[in-house]
Structure 1
Amino acid sequence: MPVEFLGIATTSDASETTSRTTAPFDKQYLERIVRAHEDNGWTRVLFAYGSSGPEPSALAAWTAARLDTVELLLAHRPNVSYPTFAAKSFATLDQLAEGRLSVHFITGGNDHEQRREGDTLAKDERYARTQEYIQIVKKAWSSAEPFDHHGSFYDLDDFVLDTKPFEGRTPTISFGGSSDAAFKVGAAEADIYAVWGEPLDRTAEQIQRVRTEAVAAGRSTPPRIHAAFRPILGATEELAWEKAHRVLDRIEERKAAAGGVLSRRHPIDKPENAGSQRLLEIAAQGDRFDTALWTATAKATGGAGNSNALVGTPETVAQALLAYYDLGVRIVSARGYDLLDDATDFGRYVIPIVREEVAKRDAEAASAQAA
């Protein structure tokens, strides 16, 4: 099965290592970074969501009008709109993008961040709400006749969408999380289940958990698996590791300058979400795992989101990613620390190796099946 690659769309060049050098909201930079992905072999880009950030669907619509082939992954929190409004917004955007839209539903793992936009539900309630929300969105996309819905969180009557997604398709739905509630909801409802990059054995455990919960939900085909990493590339192994330690130094410098924090969205100590807790637990066991996984960046950021790195030459990082592919990972998220340059380098030097090797694997599998 072909492998896909997910990058990031942003309106500035700020990262954990880099103070912003662009305007706070720079639409020219947004076009540049998405074009760098489109021109260098990436499948799609993510428009992330934060309570204080720009509205991602507007950014995605603006981008869709300017770039022709890159796909758009829109992050969405169910607490910020009613599901019928979301369904029509997604369908409209998919029409504008001519079928290039996917949606990533974020339930929210930080109570304080959720309360910034009025969400006071407890974590397990949020997951239950997300499941009901996704079910309504999918029904709105597919139903030709008006329908009613009376659930635990939403009530509506006689709803039907006049504008469906492009050419009758259903946009891909992705979902992530590492808690019990997350696995149950995502395995039941999502097309793609997203996990953060962990050692191979821990990733295998998560993949098996997704598959087990999918069977329990009555699904014959489980979600595809998406794993996220921070690539740090060098022309040689030595240069790659020198660069990695410079990255870590820059993170610590930025953190110190900001009084020990990097983001209003994520605490450095004692994160609430299970995924970050897992990353910190792994980092406490050691800095290096398998051939290229490095946890020092996750430890320095408090396990904030996608924060474990893959360090090495393009060939080393590609072989590390192929080991995840062999476990069952089919979508790779890779976001560097120097956003534009790293997107270009990863696209030029890593993606072609991985795609070529995956094609060989697929051809060998097809030959074996035919025999």
Structure 2
Amino acid sequence: MPHTPLPRFGIMTAPSQVDYHDVLRVWREADTIPEIEHAWLFDHLMPIGGDPNGPTYEGWTLLSALAAQTRRLRLGLLVTSNRIRPPAMLAKIAATVDIVADGRLDFGIGAGSRPSHPLARREYEAHGLPFHDAAHAVGSLAEACTVIRRLWTEADPFDFDGTYHQLTGAFCNPKPVQRPHPPILVGGRSAAVLRVAAEHADLWNIPGGDIDDAARRSALLDRYCTEIGRDPASITRSIVLPVSYDQPSITREAIGRAIDAGFPHIVLGLPAPYPANVAQWVTDELITTPAQ
């Protein structure tokens, strides 16, 4: 029988419609609880839910601050929008965070927001960022993954003449702490993004509202891996599951179904406002209590 990895649980605190100190409180508490192994932010510049003019923190800046305030949690963004930062700049930012975190970064990246999501799209126009079509976004993502890995691993400057990115004398110093590089998590559900994940990802993440759909996408990723001669089992399957404070049994059932579907990397999305001692509640109600 194939080896089934033990589930690894984490939390996600969307840094929007909340205060910095609320997020910090939750991460500091989670850092003391061994059952919670990883913690995540998202990467939006404006709210995508709630008050459209409410607060939203820049993800990588906040992640660096939280890296300095924690000691054990693995941490990252679910997922960085490749549309927002040039890949060489992103490689430098991520290397810095991995150093601040003493080697705890999981590097999450995706193609960027769907064009059909108006609240997500407006942040690009508001910040003077171009918003290309999906084919451009996916092609740019594939090149970005190549560039970022090279910057983290190559000792000498290099030029890169891609379709979407051109670099001259590209070089990253200092390198990340982790060798050969921080794990790369590619997030997304489209077939085109799954092809990028098959080539570049150590982990693949999908939002988990529909676990049957997630399982079908995982099978498609298996196929794409096989087509390029990669062992599908070399990519850890990760899923984000929404947490219900009022009905934890619903979340426990979703956790059980996700694990059974081959997703051992579980990210529990915590809605704000965060209750007192929410990390301990998550551990007691969702991680150590099995579904009935």
Q: Does 1:333 align with 2:289?
A: no
| Residue of structure 1 equivalent to 2:141 | 130
Match of 1:208 among 204, 213, 219: 219
| Residue of structure 1 equivalent to 2:75 | 72
User: How many angstroms does 1:231 deviate by?
Assistant: 2.5
Contact 1:335 1:343 in 2 (8 A): no
CA distance in 2, matches of 1:200, 1:28: 33
Q: What do the CA deviations read for 1:10-56 (whole angstroms, capped 9, x no partner)?
A: 556x4xxxxx6xxxxx3322210112322333112112111233221
1:50 alignment partner, SS class = coil
Q: Which amino acid aligns with 1:230?
A: P
Match of 2:105 among 101, 106, 113: 101
Equivalent residues in 2 for 1:110-259, closer than 5 Å: 110-111=114-115, 112-113=121-122, 114-117=124-127, 118-221=129-232, 222-232=234-244, 240=247
Normalising by the residue count of structure 2, what TM-score does the alignment of the two structures yield? 0.81
Q: Which amino acid aligns with 1:195?
A: I
Q: Does 1:322 align with 2:267?
A: no
1:43 alignment partner, SS class = strand
Contact 2:81 2:113 in 1 (8 A): no
User: How many angstroms does 1:134 deviate by?
Assistant: 1.0
Normalising by the residue count of structure 1, what TM-score does the alignment of the two structures yield? 0.65
CA distance in 1, matches of 2:14, 2:268: 14
Q: What do the CA deviations read for 1:174-232 (whole angstroms, capped 9, x no partner)?
A: 12222221222222221111122245533321210111112223322442111121122
Contact 1:336 1:343 in 2 (8 A): no
Against the structure 1 CA distance between its residues 349 and 120, is the aligned structure 2 distance closer, same or farther, given a 3 Å change threshold?
closer
Q: Does 1:62 align with 2:65?
A: yes
Against the structure 1 CA distance between its residues 333 and 167, is the aligned structure 2 distance closer, same or farther, given a 3 Å change threshold?
closer
Asked which structure has the greater CA Rg, the reply is: 1
Against the structure 1 CA distance between its residues 47 and 231, is the aligned structure 2 distance closer, same or farther, given a 3 Å change threshold?
closer
Against the structure 1 CA distance between its residues 179 and 11, is the aligned structure 2 distance closer, same or farther, given a 3 Å change threshold?
closer
Q: Which amino acid aligns with 1:323?
A: R
The aligned length equals: 265
- Structure 1: give runs of 5+ residues left out of the alignment: 15-19, 21-25, 235-239, 241-310, 355-371
User: How many angstroms does 1:59 deviate by?
Assistant: 1.0
| Residue of structure 2 equivalent to 1:7 | 11
Between structures 1 and 2, the one with greater helix share: 1
Moved over 4 A (4+): none
1:161 alignment partner, SS class = coil
Against the structure 1 CA distance between its residues 103 and 116, is the aligned structure 2 distance closer, same or farther, given a 3 Å change threshold?
farther
Contact 1:141 1:164 in 2 (8 A): yes
Contact 2:80 2:112 in 1 (8 A): no
Against the structure 1 CA distance between its residues 217 and 156, is the aligned structure 2 distance closer, same or farther, given a 3 Å change threshold?
same
CA distance in 2, matches of 1:197, 1:9: 16
CA distance in 2, matches of 1:109, 1:61: 23
CA distance in 1, matches of 2:160, 2:25: 43
Against the structure 1 CA distance between its residues 199 and 86, is the aligned structure 2 distance closer, same or farther, given a 3 Å change threshold?
closer
CA distance in 2, matches of 1:57, 1:154: 21
1:232 alignment partner, SS class = coil
Against the structure 1 CA distance between its residues 165 and 181, is the aligned structure 2 distance closer, same or farther, given a 3 Å change threshold?
same
CA distance in 2, matches of 1:339, 1:42: 19
Please report the RMSD computed on the Cα atoms of aligned residues, expressed in angstroms: 2.3
| Residue of structure 2 equivalent to 1:350 | 286
1:340 alignment partner, SS class = coil
1:135 alignment partner, SS class = helix
2:83 alignment partner, SS class = helix
